[in-house]
């Protein structure tokens, strides 16, 4: 069954990255958003190395084919770097430059412990090696991280949370300062060569577009704690959230962009109609 919210008068968005063809999971996500109210498309193209114009064109084409439409001009994150810069500058007292590469992080985490390394929504939980480094010492290849524990302290909060329209809708999903600091950690707000990161851009853009309901896959549920924290730090409103179920392949694996066999294109080429797609994803 589809995850549908009760209130259909929302401002919603679908925010794909043009790094591959849209697949059945994206169709589910876009249709879920569009069913809740005024639907916006946003192109999340900050990763210039992986984004391709042909994928962006295919996103427009596949969504139109599904029967969706949205206001123009479409927001593209690559046009929004000054807005991200302004947010980063504002957060500067709570951030630090980090020069650790993946191998350094792995090595620092492996030293004291055996077995599985702590992982959060961004992969390995950063062990804090560069925490406390000054922006004056930043190198050109450094990333910028949020000092998560200090962010809680600056807000005078010891817990952060949100409600979800699909997952236990009567429940406050919340985590303590220490749970966020230890389980999610000092997330990246500006990636090498990008001037922003997914977390920062999504928060700034949802506010700029006046989004009242964020619908996205359950895989991003834990990232929402960070997004709510960033909204508080930047004095931005917190929208409602609906994290929907993931569409899986026959083996139960989550679909990824590389699964071209599940691409909407592939089904279109085989003669499927939009109604067939809705039936396949149980919408
Ligand atoms: N660009 C992100 C993705 O494709 C969007 C996530 C979101 O909706 O916040 O997964």
Domains and CATH numbers, the chain: 1-79+248-283 (3.40.50.620), 81-209 (3.40.50.620)
Q: Does the pLDDT value for residue 91 go beyond 90?
A: yes
Is the Cβ–Cβ distance between 97 and 137 less than 8 Å?
A: yes
Is the CB of 121 within 6 Å of ligand 1? no
Is the CB of 44 within 6 Å of ligand 1? yes
What phi and psi, each to the nearest 5 degrees, are found at residue 77?
A: -65, -25
Rg (CA), the chain: 19
What is the position in ligand 1's atom list of the atom closest to the CA of 202? Answer: 9
What's the whole-number average pLDDT of the chain? Answer: 93
Q: How far is 283 from 159, CA to CA, in rounded Å?
A: 35
Looking at ligand 1, which residue's alpha carbon is closest to its atom 10? 16
Is the CB of 77 within 6 Å of ligand 1? no
**Span from the CA of 16 to the centroid of ligand 1 (angstroms):** 6
* Residue located via tokens 């929302």: 10
Give percent of the chain above pLDDT 90: 84
Give percent of the chain above pLDDT 70: 94
**Span from the CA of 229 to the centroid of ligand 1 (angstroms):** 18
**Span from the CA of 79 to the centroid of ligand 1 (angstroms):** 17
Distance of CA 278 to the CA centre of its chain: 24
* Residue located via tokens 């917190």: 238
pLDDT confidence of residue 135: 97
């Amino acid at each position: 069954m589809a995850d549908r919210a009760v209130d259909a008068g929302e401002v919603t968005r679908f925010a794909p990255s043009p790094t591959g063809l849209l697949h059945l999971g994206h169709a589910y996500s876009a249709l879920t958003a569009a069913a809740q109210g005024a639907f916006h498309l946003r192109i999340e193209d900050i990763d210039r190395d992986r984004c391709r114009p042909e994928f962006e064109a295919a996103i427009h084409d596949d969504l139109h084919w599904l029967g969706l439409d949205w206001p123009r001009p479409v927001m593209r994150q690559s046009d929004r770097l000054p807005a991200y810069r302004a947010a980063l500058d504002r957060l500067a007292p709570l951030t630090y430059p980090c020069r650790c590469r993946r191998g350094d992080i792995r090595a620092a985490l492996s030293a004291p412990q055996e077995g599985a390394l702590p992982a959060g929504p961004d992969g390995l939980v950063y062990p804090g090696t560069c925490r406390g480094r000054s922006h004056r010492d930043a190198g050109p290849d450094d990333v910028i991280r949020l000092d998560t524990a200090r962010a809680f302290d600056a807000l005078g909060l010891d817990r952060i949370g949100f409600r979800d329209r699909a997952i236990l809708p009567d429940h406050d999903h919340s985590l303590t300062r220490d749970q966020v600091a230890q389980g999610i950690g000092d997330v990246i707000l500006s990636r090498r060569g990008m001037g922003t990161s997914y977390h920062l851009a999504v928060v700034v853009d949802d506010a700029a577009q006046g989004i009242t309901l964020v619908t996205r896959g359950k895989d991003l549920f834990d990232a929402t704690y960070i997004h709510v924290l960033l909204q508080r730090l930047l004095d931005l409103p917190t929208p409602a959230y609906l994290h929907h179920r993931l569409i899986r392949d026959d083996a139960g694996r989550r679909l990824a962009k590389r699964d071209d066999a599940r691409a909407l294109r592939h089904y279109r080429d085989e003669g499927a109609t939009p109604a067939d797609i809705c039936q396949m994803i149980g919408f």
